[in-house]
Structure 1
Amino acid sequence: MEDTGKHTPYGQPTSAVPVGVLAGDPLLRAGVVSALRGRPGIRLVEGDQREASVLVAVTSDIRSLPYLVGESERQARLVLVADPPQPGDLWTAIESGLVVFVPREEASPHRLRRAISDACQGHGHLPPEQLGQMLQDLARLHCDVLVPHDLTPTGLSNREATVLRLLADGRDTAEIATEMAYSERTVKNILHKLTSRLGLRNRTHAVSYALRHGLI
């Protein structure tokens, strides 16, 4: 069928987005389902939540979110409806797939549909106070954890990232050793530990992996 390019008023393609609704309280879930049922661009997933592209989770305890979402649904983008999170709770939500946070008092049908549209398109949204807290946490993580252990935000050590960048530039082991003032054996050990940790076949695979995941 020819794509007409038509979109809903919320910016979504006319094909409906499969949306799952999760809540520990059946009444809360029923309220959200009622607000979304029959809305353009949304197809509610009633059975296996793994079919959902976007999950709307309503909870009074963000720490319980991993149990509510479950392991199998964490590939979906998460819209979280909750009270303002306590310090550290936001990271629990992010680990569960958080893309959009909707304060409970703002969770009108219109706001929920906008949040689903944003999540579907990968447009993250956090209230300013939560975003500020997350940036502070990231700065603290960088200073207190990453720097003392010679790690970068990518999960690579600084020297692993340097070796991969030089490999991507076409340098061989001897040239990398000279550039970094290491022995060739040290360079080989760095590569061996890196490929073993990430389950990569060889240095070419390591460079490809790093480029594909934006690590270098």
Structure 2
Amino acid sequence: MSSSLALPDSSPTATRPRQRIRVSVLATDPLVRAGLLSELRDKPGLELTTDQAEADVVVAVAETALRDLLIPFTRLVLVADEPRQAELWSAVEHGLAVLVPRDEATTPRLLKAIVDASQGRGDLPPEQLGILLRGLSQLQRDVLGPRQLTLTGLSFRETDVLRLLADGLDTGQIAQKLSYSERTVKNILQGLLTRLGLRNRTHAVAHAIRLGLI
């Protein structure tokens, strides 16, 4: 793998040093892991760590046992060849941000993937993106829809109530608008606050807006 490309340097006029990206490398094959560590070691802007919990980005090579090594909610760069749908979903559950085909896993490509993942950008090959979108559609149709849930994690009723709450309506006005009783509206809000660990209605609206749920 070529190592000619380093992470982009800060502008000469920048007044603050650029924060280093902490990267953890995972592979069940020790030779593969050693190769990745060798490629990424001493690269400008990177700091290698063995602790996933401290890493900004985890670079992992897809192998059968890898799912047992990953912790959820990381920013994951996955190196894999055409993962099956179940493997792709597992990667998504663990925070998949960028999928790099093995034959494209050059040092420049990995460095770009790490920067993209650290900055919250995603990148999937078209074939894998198609698999993911079809899977989301199936999940909504077969699992979430029958339970009156959406891909946002909110039910249809919760979404409706939060949108009206964000518009400034009070409990009585929301109940009238949706043809619910006031008790039903209160129960919907209380269930939402409890499930998401939110403090109050204002916090619930702020949470939903911040995550783009409403």
TM-score of the two chains, using structure 2 as the length reference: 0.85
Contact 2:6 2:111 in 1 (8 A): no
Aligned to 1:60: 63
Given candidates 110, 113, 132, the residue that maps to 1:112 is: 110
**Alpha-carbon distance in 1 for matches of 2:83, 2:122:** 17
- What is the root-mean-square deviation in Å for CA atoms of aligned residues? 2.0
What is the Cα deviation at residue 158 of structure 1? 0.9
**Alpha-carbon distance in 2 for matches of 1:105, 1:112:** 11
Code of the residue aligned with 2:28 in structure 1: it is G
Change (3 A) 1:213 1:12: farther
2:40 is the alignment partner of 1:36: yes
Contact 1:65 1:96 in 2 (8 A): no
Contact 1:11 1:117 in 2 (8 A): no
1:88 aligned counterpart, secondary structure: helix
Aligned to 1:80: 78
What is the Cα deviation at residue 181 of structure 1? 1.0
What is the Cα deviation at residue 15 of structure 1? 4.2
Aligned to 1:5: none
- Show structure 1 runs of 5+ residues with no match: 1-7
Contact 1:65 1:93 in 2 (8 A): no
Aligned to 1:145: 143
- Show structure 2 runs of 5+ residues with no match: 11-17
2:26 aligned counterpart, secondary structure: strand
Among all aligned residue pairs of Structure 1 and Structure 2, give the percentage whose two residues are the same amino acid. 57
**Alpha-carbon distance in 2 for matches of 1:50, 1:196:** 27
Contact 2:98 2:122 in 1 (8 A): yes
Code of the residue aligned with 1:56 in structure 2: it is V
Aligned to 1:20: 24
1:42-191 maps to which residues of 2 (within 5 A)?
42-45=46-49, 47-61=50-64, 64-69=65-70, 71=71, 74-191=72-189
Code of the residue aligned with 2:69 in structure 1: it is L
What is the Cα deviation at residue 203 of structure 1? 2.2
Contact 2:6 2:43 in 1 (8 A): no
- Count how many residue pairs are aligned between Structure 1 and Structure 2: 203
**Alpha-carbon distance in 1 for matches of 2:54, 2:199:** 33
